[in-house]
């Protein structure tokens, strides 16, 4: 009986191995040979799953986007809104080991896009996701008539996006100083500056 290999499952195994290699040794050392070794596959079999390195990296970035989307889908929108929005934004921040690993690799990819423009589109998905999340926060506040009067929505969207990314980077590069609970307080405080709380604003 021939061995039945789940092609998509194997691609995921290879991608997960690639992510571990990238995390450990950096993107430029993530060679086919090393990834095959990490995945427990032969170098020859690798090309069944990915024909180019770019295809593999693209798949890896896709995995991240998928994971973030999965976390977003699993969020319970139980209110109050400001709390739900905070939980959503925290999905893009290094709050636990899984998210930290994702962001570290994403950061390596981002630095590379300066030199290899062909990688640029790979990182755009994640960036788009973060930008959309910021947009979503502002839109939601406006739609619920909860945005502070006089807010410049476009500017606040851009600002929130930069703040989240800045916190993400400090959270991974300076994790001894910027702990997850501190990140959470800053996000919460920032949302409160956007939020028109009837009880607070007499």
Binding site for a copy of itself (CB under 8 A): 24-26, 28, 104, 107-108, 110-115, 123, 127, 152, 155, 158-159, 161-167, 169-170, 172-174, 178, 182, 185-186, 189-190, 193
CB of 80 to a copy of itself, least distance (A): 21
Give the span between the Cα atoms of 153 and 93, in whole angstroms: 22
CB of 88 to a copy of itself, least distance (A): 18
Token pair recorded at residue 93: 């921040």
Which residues lie below 8 Å from residue 73, measured CB to CB, with a gap of 6+? none
With 0-12 / 13-18 / 19 or more C-beta atoms within 10 angstroms meaning exposed / middle / buried, residue 23 is: middle
In the complex with a copy of itself, the residue whose CB is nearer, 49 or 161, is: 161
Question: What phi and psi values does residue 51 have, to the nearest 5 degrees?
Answer: -85, -25
DSSP structure class, residue 19: H
CB of 153 to a copy of itself, least distance (A): 12
In the complex with a copy of itself, the residue whose CB is nearer, 91 or 110, is: 110
HEC profile of 106-131: HHHHHHHHCCCHHHHHHHHHHHHHHH
CB of 69 to a copy of itself, least distance (A): 21
Q: Is 195 helix (H, G, I), strand (E, B) or coil?
A: strand
In the complex with a copy of itself, the residue whose CB is nearer, 67 or 159, is: 159
In the complex with a copy of itself, the residue whose CB is nearer, 80 or 166, is: 166
In the complex with a copy of itself, the residue whose CB is nearer, 49 or 91, is: 91
Give the span between the Cα atoms of 116 and 70, in whole angstroms: 29
CB of 167 to a copy of itself, least distance (A): 5
Q: Is 147 helix (H, G, I), strand (E, B) or coil?
A: strand
């Amino acid at each position: 009986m021939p061995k039945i290999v789940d092609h998509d499952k194997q691609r995921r195994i290879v991608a997960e191995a690639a992510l571990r290699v990238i995390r450990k040794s950096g993107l430029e050392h993530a060679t086919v040979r090393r990834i095959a070794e990490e995945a427990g596959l032969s170098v020859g079999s690798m090309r069944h799953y990915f024909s180019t390195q770019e295809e593999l990296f693209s798949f890896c970035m896709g995995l991240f986007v998928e994971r973030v989307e999965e976390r977003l889908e699993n969020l319970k929108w139980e209110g109050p809104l400001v709390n739900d929005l905070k939980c959503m934004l925290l999905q893009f921040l290094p709050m636990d080991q899984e998210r930290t690993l994702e962001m570290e690799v994403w950061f390596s990819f981002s630095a590379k896009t300066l030199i290899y423009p062909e990688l640029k589109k790979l990182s755009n998905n994640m960036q788009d996701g973060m930008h959309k999340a910021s947009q979503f926060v502002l839109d939601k506040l406006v739609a619920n008539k909860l945005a502070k009067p006089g807010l410049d929505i476009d500017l606040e969207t851009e600002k929130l996006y930069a703040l989240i990314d800045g916190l993400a980077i400090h959270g991974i590069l300076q994790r001894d100083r910027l702990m997850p609970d501190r990140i959470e307080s800053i996000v919460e405080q920032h949302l409160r500056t956007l939020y028109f709380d009837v009880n607070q604003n007499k």
